[in-house]
Each structure stands twice: as structure tokens, then as C-alpha cells.
Amino acid sequence: MKKRIALMGATGSIGDSALSVVSHFPDRFEIVSMAAGSRLEKLFPAIAAHRPKMVSVRTREDASRLRTEFPGIAVGWGAQGLIDVATHPEADVVLGALVGSVGLASSHAAARLGKRLALANKETLVVAGELVMAAARASGGDVIPVDSEHCALHQALRCGAPSEVSKLMLTASGGPFRTRPLSTFSDITVADALAHPTWKMGPKITIDSATMMNKGLEVIEARWLFDVPAERIEVLLHPQSIVHSLVEYVDGSLIAQMSPNDMRFPVLYALTFPERVPTPLPKLDLPALRTLEFHYAETERYPALALAYEALAAGGSAPAALNAANEIAVEAFLEGRIPFPAIVEMTARVLARHAAAPLQSVEEALEVDDWARRAAREILPALERPTPAGTGGANRS
Ligand code: NAD
Ligand code: MG
């Protein structure tokens, strides 16, 4: 029987990896529904190639264009469209590859229905990890990580019982500024921050990797995915991005997972688990790599990491506030409105204003998300760069 996939985020970087995997294995996988934002020029060929039964886009206008172009396909849009794609009755697996907290409601809806959630959209677990994992447990579904570090941990955790695990060690490349003098961080341009040394990814996660907020979000993601407290989750810098993460067991054994840095590996793992299937993807040539380095992360260089641990310690709604503030800050940086160090500064200021409270529902999590976005937008003018004369200013939405 073919696995039938709902692909959330079909036009993104993980979306590309997913479509490539599905195309490699036409006998194993089929796409029944797809959701994307607004890149129709990329979405149309994907629809033509995979012929899903339902597609959703961000706006009503784009939905009308889609209906004209593909009269035989059910079309949705907006927040409800995302939920309809994820809960499509024929979908067995929902591949969550949207970016940001916009992915939460559809991930949660899929988990409640007992579908497999193959999850790249880490923000889902940062904002409401406890609720999403509880929903999957209650319905008999599972959440298999696509994020490479968590996919590595998922594999390494198969070597022992939960009581035998002493810690989870997440690796981080350190991003493009691992060795850049700290005194020059205010001069970092958008292009500098988008030049990731080892991975080619969407813009939001690439900026998160430069600030290391990405690893902070991943610590929170790991906490809920594997039910391990923050004190037993560590971060190690590993510039080559070959060892994707490690589990340390109580007897001192370290189990690491390695593979080339190509997201098709974790996508395939999450789709086929507990099976492993042969792939035509290139294998690692260890002698050619020669060296694998590991370093501690400098706290001064990566303040985002401490901030994420702080949010996790505050508990409840704090990670949701951290995540939303960071989304707004990254957007402002990408628009050229704030300098690089202001990303974490803005997120810290929102977190400082937030009174953490337990989260009872996804709706409550989304209210906190909304509050933190508004708080971040209020703080924004204080951190903004002066607009260069004659540029007409930034786009204020
Ligand atoms: P991306 O920006 O390349 O793609 C995001 C996708 O989501 C696009 O298809 C976009 O159209 C869609 N989208 C965004 N907002 C939407 C909305 N409001 N409605 C409908 N669709 C919307 O991002 P990406 O790099 O593919 O990352 C996706 C997720 O996977 C992120 O959470 C990221 O942290 C995680 N992740 C990515 C990688 C990677 O290699 N790219 C690795 C690990 C984890
Ligand atoms: Mg990752």
C-alpha cells in the first residue's frame, strides 16, 4: 500500500526535498493534498507533476487562480485551507514543512486524528509542544522529526531504554559568524546572514541559524519530542554538520548519527519509519572528510541560546512568546529595518514583558503568539536603523 501524504509547505526548501523523495519512490508514496503560501509559479508545476486531490494557498485571490488552472482539484485558502489539507481523509502522513507558528493548528489537527506527523516545522513544538505530543499520544498517532538533529536523536534513542539516557547532545554548525569578531556584529548585512556555511534552507531558519535561535528552538523541540528535561539537553558546535546529534547513555556510551547534509535523508526516515529503505542518495566518504570538530558554544556570541533555555525554564506560554517575537524580529531584519544584534535584543525584551502562564489549549497558545507579535511590533521602532535618505523607508505592514 502506498503511503498517502499531505504536504504542508510544498514550495519551500523542505517541500523541495519532500517532492524529490516522493518522485524517487513512486511505488511507495503519493501526495493527496498540498498547501503552500503564494509562490504559484513554483506550486503549479508541483501540482501538475503530483496531481493532489486538494490544494490550499494563502489568499482567496490565489485560490481563484488555482481553480481556473486546475478545475478538477479541490481548492482551499487561509487558515481553514491548511487544516483541510492536513486533515484530508485520505492522508496517512502529514509532512509539516510550513515555516513559523502558522503551522501549529494544522499540525495539531493532524495529531488529533492519529495521523503520522512527519514534522520539520519546529515552531509547532516550540509554541505548543506539550499539547501536540499529548494529542498524538491520545489518538494513537506519532510525531517523527524531520529536523535533522531530532531525526538523529530519534535514531540514536533506539539503542537504549529512556531510563538509560543521560543526555541529548544537539549539534550546531555555529552558522556563518562562528569566528567573526563580535565587535563587527552590528555591520552584518542580510546577505552575510543568509550565507549559511553547510545547509541551503529557507530564509527564516537561515537567519535563526546565524543567531543560533534555531538551536534554542531545537532545544525546546527536543524537550517535548523526547520528554527529556532541559538540564539534560546540551548544545555542541560541530562546524562540518556531519554528526547530526548524539545521545549519551548512562554507561558513558555516545551514539551518534551521521549522514550527508541533505534533508532528503530525514524526510525519507520520517516517512518510512520503522522501515529503512535503500536510496540512490550519495553516501558519506569518511576519509574524504578527514576531520570532524566539536566545540563548546560561546555564550557571548550566541545570546539566543541562553534566552531559549530561559523561556523553557519559565515554562508554559514563555516559549510561544519567544518564538513569535523572534519571527517578527527576523522579518524586520530581513526587511533591512533592524541590525543583526537587535533580533535577539527584541526577542529578549518581549520575553521580559511576558508573564508566563500554563497553556491549556492551542487557542491559548495562539493568543500568546498574537500578543507577542504585537509586543514585538511596539518595540520595533526603538530598535530600528535610521532609514537611509532617499530610499522611501521600509514597508510598514
Ligand atoms: P521555506 O521558507 O523554504 O518554506 C516554507 C513553506 O511554507 C513554503 O512552501 C511557503 O509557501 C509556506 N508558507 C509559509 N507561510 C505560509 C502561510 N501563511 N500559508 C501557507 N503556506 C505558507 O522554509 P523551509 O526552510 O522549508 O523550512 C520549513 C520548516 O522546516 C521550518 O520550520 C524550518 O525551521 C524547518 N526546517 C527546515 C530545514 C531546511 O533544511 N530547510 C531543516 C530543518 C528544519
Ligand atoms: Mg535542525
Ligand 2 centroid to residue 320 C-alpha, Å: 18
Task: Specify the residue with its C-alpha closest to ligand 1, atom 32.
Answer: 121
For residue 114, the model assigns a pLDDT of: 98
Start-to-end CA span in the chain (Å): 47
Distance CA 98, CA 12 (A): 8
Cell numbers placing 132: 501536540
Task: Determine how β-strand 295-296 pairs with β-strand 29-35.
Answer: unpaired
Task: Specify the residue with its C-alpha closest to ligand 1, atom 15.
Answer: 37
Cβ of residue 156 lying under 6 Å from some atom of ligand 1: no
Whether the full predicted model's pTM is greater than 0.75, yes or no, is: yes
Ligand 1 centroid to residue 364 C-alpha, Å: 23
Torsion of CA 80, 86, 91, 94, to 10 degrees: 170
β-bridge partners, 144: 118
Cβ of residue 7 lying under 6 Å from some atom of ligand 1: no
Containing H/E element for 222?
Answer: helix 213-226
Q: For residue 351, how far is the Cα from the chain centroid?
A: 20
Task: Determine how β-strand 29-35 pairs with β-strand 143-145.
Answer: unpaired
Distance CA 305, CA 344 (A): 10
Side-chain half-sphere exposure of 350, counting CA atoms within 13 A: 34
For residue 387, the model assigns a pLDDT of: 64
Ligand 2 centroid to residue 370 C-alpha, Å: 25
Cβ of residue 79 lying under 6 Å from some atom of ligand 1: no
Cβ of residue 9 lying under 6 Å from some atom of ligand 1: yes
Cβ of residue 216 lying under 6 Å from some atom of ligand 1: no
Q: Quick one: CA dihedral 351, 331, 304, 264, positive or negative? A: positive
Alpha carbon distances (Å) from 307 to 225, 279, 353, 362, 375:
20, 39, 13, 23, 17
Q: Quick one: CA dihedral 231, 135, 154, 217, positive or negative? A: negative
> Contact at 8 Å (CB) between 109 and 135?
no
Side-chain half-sphere exposure of 55, counting CA atoms within 13 A: 30
For residue 385, the model assigns a pLDDT of: 83
Task: Specify the residue with its C-alpha closest to ligand 1, atom 5.
Answer: 12
Planar angle of CA 1, 95, 307, nearest 5 degrees: 150
Cβ of residue 342 lying under 6 Å from some atom of ligand 1: no
Distance CA 207, CA 189 (A): 11
Ligand 1 centroid to residue 101 C-alpha, Å: 11
For residue 386, the model assigns a pLDDT of: 76
Ligand 1, atom nearest to 214 Cα: 34
Distance CA 138, CA 351 (A): 31
Cβ of residue 13 lying under 6 Å from some atom of ligand 1: yes
> Contact at 8 Å (CB) between 199 and 241?
yes
For residue 198, the model assigns a pLDDT of: 87
Planar angle of CA 311, 148, 281, nearest 5 degrees: 170
Question: Does residue 229 come out as left (phi exceeding 0), alpha (psi in the -120 to 50 range) or beta?
Answer: beta
Pocket test for ligand 1, best of 42, 143, 201, 220 (most atoms within 8 A of CB): 201
Distance CA 29, CA 16 (A): 15
Ligand 1, atom nearest to 205 Cα: 34
Nearest in space to 185 (alpha carbons), one of 159, 211, 165, 161? 211
In tens digits, the chain (397 residues) has pLDDT values of 899 999 999 999 999 999 999 999 999 999 999 999 999 999 999 999 999 999 999 999 999 999 999 999 999 999 999 999 999 999 999 999 999 999 999 999 999 999 999 999 999 999 999 999 999 999 999 999 999 999 999 999 999 999 999 999 999 999 999 999 999 999 999 999 999 888 889 999 999 999 999 999 999 999 999 999 999 999 999 999 999 999 999 999 999 999 999 999 999 999 999 999 999 999 999 999 999 999 999 899 999 999 999 999 999 999 999 999 999 999 999 999 999 999 999 999 999 999 999 999 999 999 999 999 999 999 999 999 876 554 444 444 3
